[in-house]
Amino acid sequence: QVQLVESGGGWVQPGGSLKLSCAASGFTLDYYTIGWFRQAPGEEREGVSCIMSGDGTTYYADSVKGRFTVSRDNAKNTVYLQMNSLKPEDTAVYYCAADLYRCTLTVLPESNWYQYDYWGQGTQVTVSS
């Protein structure tokens, strides 16, 4: 069965850290570009980071640059998102998605979600005091 499963979300105080995982099954994650997205209540889904297939080049949205780090462990078929210096505005459901080449660092309307081959179910991140 082909699927992506996110984990690692939770509640954290402002300034804290969380590490999200995106585990793939049924396909080799290294062959795909993996994007991390987030969606806050009432907002559209937005791309925050991606790691490219092959050479693993990473990209970040300006809102998370310098605070988030994306990485990939091919042996575990898993991509990670290390989130540091978290802010209340980072509160959202975080999703990972796989596509052969696409990297989205802007809003992705629901009408375009089909552009990605696979989506995870999401994991909630809440940043509050």
Question: How are strands ordered across the β-sheet holding 68-73?
Answer: 3-7, 18-25, 78-83, 68-73
- Residue pair 12/86 in contact (Cβ under 8 Å)? The answer is yes
> Could you tell me what percent of the chain has a pLDDT over 90?
95
What pLDDT shows up at residue 1? 86
Answer whether residue 117 shows pLDDT above 90.
yes
Neighbours of 26 (CB within 10 A): 10
Average pLDDT, the chain: 96
Answer whether residue 49 shows pLDDT above 90.
yes
